[in-house]
Structure 1
Amino acid sequence: MHVLVWLSSLLCVVAFVVLEDLFSDPAAPILKEMREIDDELASLAPARLTPAVPTLGYLSDYWKSPDVSIPVDIVLRRVAKLDTLMVLPVAAVDEQNVSHSFQFPLRFTIELIAADGAIRMIADYSQEDYPTPGLEPQIFPCPPEFAAQTIRFTNLRLRKNPQEASENYFMTLGEVFAFSGDWNAALNAEVRTESSKPVPLTWHPSFLVDGFSNYAPVELDIDRPLITILTRDDELTATLDLGKQVVVDELRIWPIDYSSNHSHTGSHGQGFPLNLQLEAALQPDFSDAKVVYRNDDFPRPNVGALMKAVTPVTGRYLRLTARDGYQHPGNSNTGIGFAELELFQKGKLLSRGISPKLDATRGRYLKSRLTDGFSKTGRIRPLKNWMLQVARRAALEKRHADLSLTLDSVHARQSATLRWAGILLAALIGVFFLFFFISRYRNEKRLHRMRDDIAGDLHDEVG
């Protein structure tokens, strides 16, 4: 009997613990955090991978051993106090048509070097492996008080390419952005390294800082498609009056993007000028004009902007001359076409809303749309903020996936708890009935013994 009482007490304690776990709802805080993540994701711009990039970035030599020191120096055009360094991995597509990062270094260090040789370490993965990154920008904060002349990325251990049977080790880097405020100080910087495998229009050290990446900072709005400049002329001149004397140090030209209408890459960048010249002047007749940028026959962009650091020159009037528009493979028409023109001074946009004067006679164009902040497929967002949002989105999506797995585990545990609760309830009911029948049996046995005792006493008295 005492054993049954003890067992009943134990079952009650266990049942209390199980029911407390069941009704405490451990999934509630997880679901709350997932809802908060969903709300924040809804406020972030969607990350859109471009269908093709004119250049891929930097590719090192092939090595037989993974433990190789490969320094890559990015010598900035001007000394800059950086606050954020972003390194974009190269994107590759596997046999299942899934995009993933490709050959990002396994161990490395990143240092900032001042003009006087002082060094500041901003990332040290010399003793531990760097987690396999996604395609989002890898963010490395910088000390804003340190004036850097050079960014040194030193590989210490390479990853093996799982798609290659040979024992070759190498690394790739897609693009480096070095921000001081909104200014990308690394754009078109000099890249020095002794380990490189150049491939025309694909891999080269200079492609590490040419501005081309897998992410175009455009908030898609395909319900508002626009073609801002499309002329049949062989040459187009756009003149802007900035209203005051300023220093222009960066030029961005956005191509006409047909990726929302056509999947083949030949449709992107139709009419984009392969020859460009930018002049700055203080006089409206350009009698004192200075050429701040000139280039011939560079790769046409597909979706993202052509970004070029130009020689800083003070001027009020800017004249862009565009020639040799890219011809669509399936279209015999020639001409000049692009969607947006942007001029910057240390990351500050100067040209927004300034309607240019266009020298073109044939074709269709809306000159006010050339500086309205829209590409053909949507609103152009500030580059740094966009990249930070892309990185934040990737982190939130990873956290959401981890929470989803945790929630599945909690639900599985709750299901197991329910099963145990049912088993314990059945056990308690069984113990109760067992206790009831045993008690009843003992009572009946005691009554039967009492009757026998009374009958025996009466028999003795009568006898």
Structure 2
Amino acid sequence: MVVTVIYLAATTFHAESAGATSSLSKLSGQTLQQRLATIDNSLKSLATPSMRTGIGAVGFRSWPKRDRTKGEWIQINLAEPATIDQVVLVPTIWRDTANRYREDGFPEEFRIRVGNGVDDEGTVVATFSADESHSPRVAPVVIAIHPVVADWIRIEASVLSPRGWDGMYVLQLSEILIFSGIENVALRQEVSVSSSRESRPATPWHKDYLVDGFVPYLIDASEGTKSLAYLSMVGVGDRPEIVIDLERKQRINRIHLHSIDQSDTVPQSVPEDFGFPRELIIEGANLEDFSDAIRLTDYEILSDYHSGPIVMRRFPEAECRYVRLVATQPYYYSENDLSGTRIGFAEIEIFSNGVNVAKGKTPSVEYKTSGPARNISALTDGHNLFGKILPHKQWLGELARRHDLEYERPRIAGELNERYLRQKANLRLLSWLVGLLGFIIVCTVLFERTLRQRAVFQMREQIAADLHDELGANLHAIGLLGDLVQKASDSPDRLSSLVRQIRDLTQRSGAATRYCTNMLESTGLFEDLVNDMRRTSARLMADFEHELTFSGEEHLQDLRPRTRTGLFLFYKECLTNILKHSHATRVTTELHAIPGELRLTVTDNGRGLSDSQTATVPNSLRRRARLLRAKVSVVPAPGGGTEVTLILHPNRFTIFR
């Protein structure tokens, strides 16, 4: 038994096409465009599936079933073992009212099994599934297999499909071709099937029609000039002959007789077997007088189902130079007052090792043609009414390839169109985003300009507050110290200390004047907030009973320089106000710092606030609190006097810094 491997049930191109279409979304747009252009160029060079008309054999049809999984099989027994490399299944064509033409009863799933001799089991060499059919289709299915020697081949359909007119499940095929190289070794071989609807040959459905060589297409190549078929005059006798001189001895084994091309009208004006002999003998010889003639093959039309576009006959290989076609029962023509025998063919092909050795060889006849357009050379010019006559294997391969391309093309075009629509939507969205971005830029510029103007205003306000708070307090302290100097004229030690304090305040006032414009960024100012507050309170509260309490000093180091400066100046302004207006003798200061909050409370025992001043914050403290983004309150102190409280959240974010 021959051991093989299972190959994908498709041609090489089909495999490439399926691989491409399965991942279209992963391909770039340029790749898809190139693929689309390649498909369009390929379609221009491929044969077109032109359908036959008239009456003819349809093919084989199994017994109808209601269960699609009730499998069927077809087996072809070859006359002798052959190396098989390709199987072609031609579907039965159904005229669908919705899709025009499509396959009918083509199996959804099947496998191909081959074997030798009495080996009933054989070996599976190919499988096929519904996904690979690219339905609907009219083109043949070309199945490439690894070359294997076999003398029988079986198509086993495991899942059937419904036929069009009643929905019953059947196995239907028009033709099965088995290629060994370029030879169709299945031609006119023995066929056995699992079940059959018809058993009589004179019906459109019969198992023998699977290998009769007739397919539902006409050879319609995309290249070559058209050639009108040869047709004799009326009255060519009872045994008209056509002789072809091959010019040298050739080992021939096959002949193709192309019937006269059907008319290009619908309906056609002549029958399919017009001019074709009812009985025909084909002989070969090496002598011109055919004295050594041998019969190569013969042909007989038993019914309308035994004729078709191309009559193919294989015969044992014979070495011949001359080939003679003898119409023992020629076609009889009768129309109006004209009647008689006629003979005609579109092409005669004689093959030696797969090559048409009759091409270009002018046949000889002993009768006239029906007109100047029906030249005898048309019998061997290699062209028909559509153009060039293609080798059978190439022709069916091009039909299958065209179907795959036409199946793939709309999917590529659809993917490109979908991407175009997405790009169009993205472009529209991008346009909106660009407009929005422009709007944001304009707003940002205006906002930035507002911020700069606000910063200028804040800087001016900060400078004014710093000059007022720092210099005003210092000058007031200098005045007080001056009064003390006058009183301490009799105490040299006391006088020296007061003069030194006046000198310090003078220097500090000068420094504040020089750096007030950049006091918030200056380094070295109020880095030690606790000690600075102690020194300031000692100078300003020299004649007061003053208590200063701190808690959470470690959190004060985390304050920004601007915040430390503002807090110090707020505290200094509180002391200055007490000196100027409170007439107090005792002052208490408490500074409590915790993460995220700072609370400063300054309390005096002065004359307090009048009823009209209750809950009124002095302008200087309100301004300083605003610069700090803090809350300030002024309330009467228990036991008399005033209590000023500042609550600051130094880590709270604000956009207007």
Q: Distance in 2 between matches of 1:153 and 1:276?
A: 34
The residue that corresponds to 2:390 in the other structure is 381
Distance change in 2, residues 1:458/1:290 (3 Å)? closer
The residue that corresponds to 2:145 in the other structure is 142
Specify the SS of the correspondent of 1:142: strand
User: 1:307 aligned to 2:312?
Assistant: yes
The residue that corresponds to 2:430 in the other structure is 421
Specify the SS of the correspondent of 1:310: strand
The residue that corresponds to 1:320 in the other structure is 325
Q: Larger deviation: 282-291 or 31-40?
A: 282-291
Shift of 1:418: 0.6
Question: After superposition, what is the alpha-carbon deviation per residue over 1:72-96, rounded to whole angstroms, capped at 9, x for unaligned?
Answer: 1111233211221111111211114
The residue that corresponds to 1:157 in the other structure is 159
Q: Distance in 2 between matches of 1:372 and 1:300?
A: 28
Shift of 1:421: 0.9
Aligned counterpart in structure 2 of residue 356 of structure 1, from 363, 370, 387 = 363
**Structure 1 contact 86–140 (Cα < 8 Å) conserved:** yes
Specify the SS of the correspondent of 2:379: helix
The residue that corresponds to 2:585 in the other structure is none
Specify the SS of the correspondent of 2:214: coil
Q: Larger deviation: 436-445 or 72-81?
A: 436-445
Question: After superposition, what is the alpha-carbon deviation per residue over 1:391-448, rounded to whole angstroms, capped at 9, x for unaligned?
Answer: 2222222222221011011101101211221222123223223323333333333444
Aligned counterpart in structure 2 of residue 366 of structure 1, from 369, 372, 375 = 375
Specify the SS of the correspondent of 2:261: coil
User: 1:347 aligned to 2:350?
Assistant: no
Question: After superposition, what is the alpha-carbon deviation per residue over 1:34-80, rounded to whole angstroms, capped at 9, x for unaligned?
Answer: 12222233333444333457222111111121112322111123321
**Structure 1 contact 257–302 (Cα < 8 Å) conserved:** no
Q: Distance in 1 between matches of 2:269 and 2:100?
A: 18
Q: Distance in 1 between matches of 2:84 and 2:334?
A: 41
Q: Distance in 1 between matches of 2:339 and 2:196?
A: 39
Q: Distance in 2 between matches of 1:316 and 1:173?
A: 38
1:40-119 paired onto structure 2 within 5 Å: 40-52=42-54, 54-96=56-98, 98-115=100-117, 117=119, 119=122
The residue that corresponds to 2:300 in the other structure is 296
2:312 maps to a residue whose letter is M
The residue that corresponds to 2:282 in the other structure is 278
User: 1:186 aligned to 2:186?
Assistant: yes
**Structure 1 contact 110–154 (Cα < 8 Å) conserved:** yes
1:110-259 paired onto structure 2 within 5 Å: 110-115=112-117, 117=119, 119-125=122-128, 131-133=133-135, 134-144=137-147, 146-161=148-163, 163-164=165-166, 168-198=168-198, 200-219=202-221, 224-232=226-234, 233-234=236-237, 235-259=239-263
**Structure 1 contact 54–302 (Cα < 8 Å) conserved:** yes
Distance change in 2, residues 1:225/1:351 (3 Å)? closer
Shift of 1:301: 8.2
Distance change in 2, residues 1:362/1:389 (3 Å)? closer
**Structure 1 contact 54–201 (Cα < 8 Å) conserved:** no
**Structure 1 contact 269–301 (Cα < 8 Å) conserved:** no
**Structure 1 contact 342–351 (Cα < 8 Å) conserved:** yes
Distance change in 2, residues 1:218/1:230 (3 Å)? farther
TM superposition score normalised by structure 1: 0.83
- In structure 1, stretches of 5+ residues that fail to align are 1-24
2:367 maps to a residue whose letter is A
Distance change in 2, residues 1:77/1:379 (3 Å)? same
Q: Distance in 2 between matches of 1:435 and 1:270?
A: 88
Q: Larger deviation: 444-453 or 395-404?
A: 444-453
User: 1:336 aligned to 2:343?
Assistant: yes
Specify the SS of the correspondent of 1:242: strand
Specify the SS of the correspondent of 1:271: coil
Shift of 1:452: 5.1
**Structure 1 contact 253–338 (Cα < 8 Å) conserved:** yes
Shift of 1:319: 1.8
Shift of 1:269: 4.2
Aligned counterpart in structure 2 of residue 394 of structure 1, from 393, 403, 409 = 403
- In structure 2, stretches of 5+ residues that fail to align are 1-26, 477-657
TM superposition score normalised by structure 2: 0.60
1:181 maps to a residue whose letter is G
Shift of 1:333: 4.2
Identity %: 26
**Structure 2 contact 57–306 (Cα < 8 Å) conserved:** no
1:266 maps to a residue whose letter is V
Shift of 1:263: 4.0
Specify the SS of the correspondent of 1:38: helix
The residue that corresponds to 2:40 in the other structure is 38
Q: Larger deviation: 180-189 or 310-319?
A: 310-319
Specify the SS of the correspondent of 2:74: strand
Specify the SS of the correspondent of 1:110: strand
Specify the SS of the correspondent of 2:377: helix
Q: Distance in 1 between matches of 2:306 and 2:347?
A: 13
Give the structure with higher Rg (CA): 2
Q: Distance in 2 between matches of 1:400 and 1:328?
A: 49
**Structure 2 contact 230–378 (Cα < 8 Å) conserved:** yes
Q: Larger deviation: 208-217 or 228-237?
A: 228-237
**Structure 2 contact 139–400 (Cα < 8 Å) conserved:** yes
Q: Distance in 2 between matches of 1:173 and 1:45?
A: 21
Distance change in 2, residues 1:256/1:105 (3 Å)? same
**Structure 1 contact 266–328 (Cα < 8 Å) conserved:** no
1:407 maps to a residue whose letter is L
Q: Distance in 2 between matches of 1:262 and 1:225?
A: 20
Q: Indicate the structure whose relative CO is greater, using CA pairs within 8 Å and at least 6 residues apart.
A: 1
The residue that corresponds to 2:626 in the other structure is none
Specify the SS of the correspondent of 2:196: coil
User: 1:408 aligned to 2:449?
Assistant: no
Q: Distance in 1 between matches of 2:305 and 2:188?
A: 16
Q: Distance in 1 between matches of 2:210 and 2:132?
A: 20
Q: Distance in 2 between matches of 1:416 and 1:362?
A: 68
Q: Distance in 2 between matches of 1:296 and 1:302?
A: 9
Question: After superposition, what is the alpha-carbon deviation per residue over 1:142-167, rounded to whole angstroms, capped at 9, x for unaligned?
Answer: 332x2221111111111123542x5x
1:336 maps to a residue whose letter is I
1:393 maps to a residue whose letter is R
**Structure 1 contact 253–341 (Cα < 8 Å) conserved:** yes
**Structure 2 contact 104–162 (Cα < 8 Å) conserved:** no
**Structure 2 contact 226–388 (Cα < 8 Å) conserved:** no
2:429 maps to a residue whose letter is W
Question: After superposition, what is the alpha-carbon deviation per residue over 1:164-202, rounded to whole angstroms, capped at 9, x for unaligned?
Answer: 2x5x21121121111122211111111111311227442
Q: Distance in 1 between matches of 2:103 and 2:94?
A: 6
Question: After superposition, what is the alpha-carbon deviation per residue over 1:284-304, rounded to whole angstroms, capped at 9, x for unaligned?
Answer: 433443333233324478873
Greater helix share, 1 or 2?
2
How many residue pairs were aligned?
435
2:277 maps to a residue whose letter is P
